[in-house]
Structure 1
């Protein structure tokens, strides 16, 4: 079933509020804020080796520098959306932006792991407040055909964040220092904070119940899962230090399920997972994000730790990879409409697996651009197609009134997928990271290749047949 925001087009003109003359300036401002959030997912990857050297950070801490941000961003996002309803979208956006900006300054000033990780957790929490509030403002400010255009701009800004992140991270780390990948957010955040009240209209909040226990359970459970996965790299899979947090994660997820079923206003409507398109979209988004962020993490450490690349050279190396991801997304958007979701998803995963195969034989020496870059680019091309398929499948194959819920689910799995992907490959590559050999990295890329191949097999049975039509419904970033 195709859905769209087209219902608004057929509403009587008097039922629609008059267009706000400030709406396009407001869109530019909101997109700038969203761009910072997406940038901070990938910008840190290139800076990790310099952070490790300056602050004496080990593998586990480096993993948490990436995962703590995406964990809080994804785990608290649905609660952030509810707060936007209860308190007003503009107020929640300003609160999230203020927290994100202050946390960026603190993170840049960090002199050790506690402050660094605390800052990243606060950044992720601010992002979880800001992002759904910003999207709510976009969808209520624009109507009809203008909403489609505005959401297209929103999606394009989100898609470009990864590409700019790796390049900007390299340039800043190689120039004034890794601290500036966080400091750069401060003037931008202050600018947006000052301009939002003048350009974004305040709207009356809507009555909404807040499922704080649900948010804490799902975020805590995912945190315990990631802790167990990371700990396995040092202690082993059978060690109590690994099994106890994994068991805690399972318990937290079970309690979350009970709480959501019993709650009067659950954070996540678990019945959405009985909708095959939503389940398929969540699976594809989780797998694709886990693979892509894992590639950036592994590649950054491998190139700088083993091959002696500078941060800027590493950022430039990943630029074709980011471009390939965008090209794959563009190609995927065309293929979904022509051949349907299932073949596009299966093909995208298969291409990702095929591109990863050469990376399972990483050289300790020799030509990186001929032996490594083609594999990254091909794999990212397939992943880009999967991203689009995940979004269109989840949003364009459910009823119109369920599109917002489906969007929230897919957004959550987008961020959480990055956390899990980095945790897994960090553990598998632990020996290579600590000893400076390619062996651990090749094992990690083998894991990625197997995951992509299994993803193709699962997609073959899980993704519905049909050709969804993308419309003006809610978009993921």
Structure 2
């Protein structure tokens, strides 16, 4: 068998695995009404079918990067892919809502192991001069997976069943495993020490905050359970930062945040995910619950948003190579915020679908402009030996934002609305979209803090060489 181009194989294998991991963030959203019918549970349980995945994914991503540095990135990629594939099968076979949530949490662990090493494996295989294009394509594939989740989930649910949105991962995962073994090159990083205390503090702290946000409306925001979880979560995250500042082998080196580009890109990623994930979670159900569309019809009607990355992302990537990613990212975020504001202004019980198309298109174009250049800007802001940590951190912030977005926007929704009628759904959706728009507007401000790019900036350096970090012009 001919070996072929290593860069092409690395892109195909890592982007396909990344597509599956990113897809499972929101593929379940259009299946939630069917899951509720078959397995029971209220909106809190439905939130956990999303957040059990995003939360474990988020808090273990940086540990995944460290494990890859220590035990080998290809090895960890195959371990993560194996776990993701097996837990997808468990989710498909889940007999109850509790078992489904547990399987989703295991999926998140698998995704956290394979995702951060994917980008490092791709970096090692692609020549330095072509990494901007490769990163842009990799980021666009992952962004498209998040966006296409509702359509793919709705189509599968309508023509097969909700179980198949998880079962379809199994043959793809089984096909990728031998390819990863044969086509990817093993590598390790310079840092072989693991930060177990840091991982435990971050995981427990984030869990406490998300738990409090999800239970706030049902238990009461002043209830002892909610207050205890919220306070404990905040204190544990403060303890995490304090630990990271003093340990010799931090999970997330705090010194990276002295880098303006790194800090601003991650802030924008977190806030964008708050608005985007939470909005898609509610809008996918809006089309089914309030407007009466089938799962597939709802997914098709999300296409003005979800199809835009396929059209716009390649153009955005080329434009970013000419003028830099900062202005592209900020423009994309501004368009997303404007799209959600527009949608919030027109939401009503019997709003015509044609009126919803313009804000969906605007949001989709904005999302494409964000995802295409963000990876290139991030990876160019750190030293080569820090790229694995940087990738894990950025993905972690996006997943944390997703978990917080679903929890926060659903809390806003349930404070004013419910599933009982189209009008009640609209009553809750409107303020939730305003909150989502505000989060993405804040992300726009964060993106504008990224330093300006100069045209003759060097390409992303080769991890095999001891090259200095790229420093954009202030």
**How many Å separate the matches in 2 of 1:156 and 1:342?**
16
Is residue 356–residue 375 contact of structure 1 (8 Å, CA) maintained in 2?
yes
Greater CA deviation, 279-288 or 388-397?
388-397
Deviation sequence 1:144-196 (CA, Å, 0-9, x none): 44655554543343233234432221111001100000000111112222333
Shift in CA distance, 147/165, structure 1 to aligned 2, threshold 3 Å = same
TM-score scaled by length of structure 2: 0.87
Is residue 74–residue 128 contact of structure 1 (8 Å, CA) maintained in 2?
yes
Deviation sequence 1:365-406 (CA, Å, 0-9, x none): 1412x2223212212322333344644443334555654443
Which residue matches 1:83?
67
Greater CA deviation, 211-220 or 446-455?
446-455
Taking the TM superposition and a 5 Å limit, the aligned residue runs for 1:30-49 are 30-49=14-33
Is residue 403–residue 473 contact of structure 1 (8 Å, CA) maintained in 2?
no
Greater CA deviation, 38-47 or 337-346?
337-346
Cα root mean square deviation, aligned: 2.8
Q: Are residues 1:464 and 2:448 paired?
A: no
Which residue matches 2:437?
449
Taking the TM superposition and a 5 Å limit, the aligned residue runs for 1:418-429 are 418-429=402-413
Which residue matches 2:49?
65
Which residue matches 1:8?
none
Shift in CA distance, 249/174, structure 1 to aligned 2, threshold 3 Å = same
Which residue matches 2:418?
433
Is residue 139–residue 373 contact of structure 2 (8 Å, CA) maintained in 1?
no
Which residue matches 1:6?
none
Question: Where in structure 1 are there 5+ consecutive unaligned residues?
Answer: 1-18
Shift in CA distance, 335/284, structure 1 to aligned 2, threshold 3 Å = farther
**How many Å separate the matches in 2 of 1:139 and 1:334?**
19
Is residue 53–residue 105 contact of structure 2 (8 Å, CA) maintained in 1?
yes
**How many Å separate the matches in 1 of 2:351 and 2:296?**
20
Q: Are residues 1:97 and 2:85 paired?
A: no
Deviation sequence 1:251-274 (CA, Å, 0-9, x none): 111111122122121111011112
Of the three residues 379, 395, 403, the one matched with 1:395 is: 379
Deviation sequence 1:114-172 (CA, Å, 0-9, x none): 11111011000001111223333222234344655554543343233234432221111
Q: Secondary structure at the match of 1:309?
A: coil
- CA drift of 1:202 comes to 4.2
Question: Where in structure 2 are there 5+ consecutive unaligned residues?
Answer: 464-474
How many residues align structurally?
Answer: 455
Q: Are residues 1:137 and 2:121 paired?
A: yes
Q: Secondary structure at the match of 2:293?
A: coil
Shift in CA distance, 315/472, structure 1 to aligned 2, threshold 3 Å = farther
Which residue matches 1:293?
277
